[in-house]
Amino acid sequence: MTKEQKLKNISAPTYPIDVVLDTDAYNEIDDQFAIAYLLKNSDKLCTKAIYAAPFLNEKSDSASDGMEKSYNEILKVLDLLSDSCEVFRGSGSFLTGENTPVISDAAKDLAKRAFKYSPENPLYVVAIGAITNIASAILIEPKVAENTVVVWLGSNALHYCDTKEFNLKQDIAAARVVISSGVPFVLLPCMGVVSSFTVSRYELEHWLVGKNALSTYLAENTVAAAESYASGKPWTRVIWDVTAVAWLLNENDCFMRSKVVELPLPGYDHSYEQNGKTYTARYVYHIWRDRLMQDLIQKLTKKDL
């Protein structure tokens, strides 16, 4: 791929485009917003498949259990949307190194699906969890790096104190595989950038509750999660994952500002490598919070014709 083509591919796309979403949907409450927002923009974004990503925390007994719970949560959101698309189970574990893939239905599907595309007509891969499935697909079939654009919510801002972010720290090897593959890559950092995209209880209850089954579920799920730790105190909740989908809709920088950078690899010591090779990528550095929130609410509550 030429440098000119890579720069074109990490610029705002021309619609319509084909998209696959890779999500640890059961991990938090924001993946569900992202799934809904993606499918509610079907006039521009054609969702070809959704992949269940692994995760491991207090909500799962293992990476495999997290993936399976995410698979079921994806199906639940699709049911609330009265929509459908292909859904694939992803990796049951994280990478053990940078040369060996974790074989899964999701990784095999992406490795095969990529052959339908080209650098001039790429498949957009939105990843909002540990990026194990995408790294595995690239290791299975390097052509994935030529024929896709990867948009990842992960790590923290370049100016932040560390890279101890959930999506990254679960599988640092996978992030290094994807970035170093040369795939056209868009990074939405969490702390320091996307951390500004918060929503309050008042907004959720005022704008979403009672509008439809989907929006009510999203709002009540978020309120319940926040109240579990806020204990009646004032709070806002970051709904991180929406922004990765929103980048695909970022015509004329309507939702966020970004720039092309030379991105260092994330190191195993939870910092960006300072003396290693860098990779050309697009780096989001600012979110227009209110603009994106207004569009999200409008899309989640609109009545389908």
d(CA 141, CA 133): 12
Distances (CA, A) of 10 to 129, 149, 255, 261: 20, 7, 16, 11
d(CA 232, CA 212): 26
The pLDDT of residue 228 is: 87
Give tens-digit pLDDT for 213-242. 999 999 999 999 998 888 788 999 999 999
Strands (E), the chain: 17-23, 45-52, 86-88, 123-127, 148-153, 185-188, 198-200, 236-238, 256-264, 278-287
The pLDDT of residue 52 is: 98
Q: What is the mean pLDDT of the chain?
A: 96
DSSP 85-127: -EEE---SS--SSSS-----HHHHHHHHHGGG-BTTBPEEEEE
As beta bridge partners, residue 237 has 199
d(CA 90, CA 77): 17
Q: What average pLDDT does the segment 130-148 reach?
A: 98
Give tens-digit pLDDT for 237-283. 999 999 999 999 999 999 999 999 999 999 999 999 998 899 999 99
User: Can you tell me which residue has the tokens 């190191």?
Assistant: 267
The pLDDT of residue 64 is: 98
Q: Looking at the predicted structure, is the pLDDT value of residue 149 above 70?
A: yes
The pLDDT of residue 152 is: 98
Q: Is beta strand 256-264 parallel, antiparallel or unpaired with respect to 278-287?
A: antiparallel
Q: Looking at the predicted structure, is the pLDDT value of residue 109 above 60?
A: yes
The pLDDT of residue 243 is: 98
Q: What average pLDDT does the segment 159-175 reach?
A: 98
User: Which of 228, 6, 256, 266 is closest to 130 using CA atoms?
Assistant: 266
The pLDDT of residue 304 is: 57
Q: Looking at the predicted structure, is the pLDDT value of residue 305 above 50?
A: no
The pLDDT of residue 280 is: 98
Domains of the chain, residue spans: 3-197+239-288, 200-238
The pLDDT of residue 302 is: 86
CATH 3.90.245.10 fits 3-197+239-288, yes or no: yes
pTM of this structure: 0.96
The pLDDT of residue 229 is: 85
CA atoms within 13 A on the CB side of 25: 26
Residues with Cβ within 8 Å of 215's Cβ and at least 6 positions away in sequence, in order, are 207, 208, 209, 300, 301
Give tens-digit pLDDT for 21-76. 999 999 999 999 999 999 999 999 999 999 999 999 999 999 999 999 999 999 99
